[in-house]
Amino acid sequence: MRLNKFLSSCGIASRRKCDEIISQGRVIVNGKVADSLGLSIDENKDRVEVDGKVLCLPKEFVYLKLNKPKGYACTASDERGRKTIFDLIKSDVRLFNVGRLDYDTEGLLIVTNDGDFANKIMHPSFAIEKEYIVTIEGEIKESELAVLRKGVVVNGERMPSARVKFVSTDGKFTKLSVVIDEGQNHQVRRMFEAIGRDIKLLKRIRIGKIRLGGLYRGMTKPLTRQEIDYFMGENR
């Protein structure tokens, strides 16, 4: 296994950032400073240290999708004493969430202990799409949709454009599909605030090709081999 992939899989950083850490002389392999970015190691035999900390791969990698309900924080422990997503997950393995959803946002969240896998999903260069169902009060005008699609202006800066599609309305509430690929903090909520619309319910239903499907709120399901390979393919 290449050294940068080993470091990334241990949750140190992305492979590119791990190359920087290696170049800084912070990685020790079998007692010697790693001096090659292309160095390969035997993850089962070689001793690898970063900043004096010995690393080892998890005995098994876990890949789950979770339907996060509203009212749960995306953290291992919350300083305000709120419930966290890990209250919902039964596992003896130390896991972490890939990205976040706001406390009041529900839907698809990926949870794993594979740092390299997580970094492939999170890295901006991959521009992985995320789709949300947005529920707002009342009906929406075509002119408002056009502004959302072009990219709203917030604090003098234009936010990234989004694919926004009408889903349904009953006159009282309207549902829209919003697809983004940059994922700025609170991007979807800020988009609608900018046009004077308050989101009543925000739900993520897709990350790349991974769909929430019929997974019940608060439940988890292992990713399929095909879903894992989608993110871990060599073309990514």
Q: Where in the chain is the domain with CATH 3.30.70.580?
A: 63-125+213-232
Supply the CATH classification number for the domain 3-55: 3.10.290.10
Write the pLDDT tens digit of every residue in 67-96: 999 999 998 877 888 899 999 998 888 888
Six-digit token pair at 52? Answer: 């004096």
Task: Give the Cα separation of 182 and 180 in Å (integer).
Answer: 6
Instruction: Out of 3.30.70.580, 3.10.580.10, 3.40.50.970, 2.60.40.1180, select the CATH number for domain 63-125+213-232.
Output: 3.30.70.580
Q: So what's the pLDDT on residue 138? A: 93
CATH 3.10.290.10 spans which residues of the chain? Answer: 3-55
pLDDT tens figures, 152-202:
888 777 888 889 999 999 989 999 999 998 767 788 998 999 999 999 999
pLDDT of residue 160: 80
CATH fit for domain 129-207, picks 3.40.50.2300, 3.40.50.360, 1.10.3720.10, 3.30.2350.10: 3.30.2350.10
Spatial contact of 33 and 27, defined as CB atoms under 8 Å apart: yes
Across the chain, mean pLDDT equals 88
What does the pLDDT read at residue 9?
81
pLDDT of 183 reads 63
**Annotated catalytic, 102?**
yes
According to the model, what pLDDT value does residue 35 have?
A: 83
Q: What is the pLDDT of residues 210-226, one digit of tens each?
A: 999 999 999 999 999 99
Confidence of residue 234 (pLDDT cuts 50, 70, 90): very low
- Please state, for a pLDDT cut of 70, what percent of the chain lies above it: 97
What pLDDT, in 10s, does the model give residues 10-63?
878 778 888 899 999 999 999 999 988 888 888 888 899 899 888 888 778 899
Residue 236 has pLDDT above 50, yes or no: no
What is the per-residue pLDDT for 88?
93
| pLDDT at 58 (0 to 100) | 76
Question: Where does the chain hold its CATH 3.30.2350.10 domain(s)?
Answer: 129-207
Whether residue 61 contacts residue 229, with contact meaning beta carbons closer than 8 Å, is answered with no
Residue of 51, 78, 87, 102 with catalytic role: 102
H helices then E strands: how many in the chain? Answer: 6, 15
Count of beta carbons in the 10 Å neighbourhood of residue 102: 15
Rounded mean pLDDT of 3-8?
86
Residue 6 pLDDT: 87
- Judged against a pLDDT cut of 80, whether residue 125 lies above it is answered with no
Contact by Cβ (8 Å): 212, 227: no
Helix (H) or strand (E) holding 65: strand 63-68
Task: Work out the percent of the chain whose per-residue pLDDT is above 90.
Answer: 49
- Please check the confidence at residue 149 and state whether its pLDDT lies above 80: yes
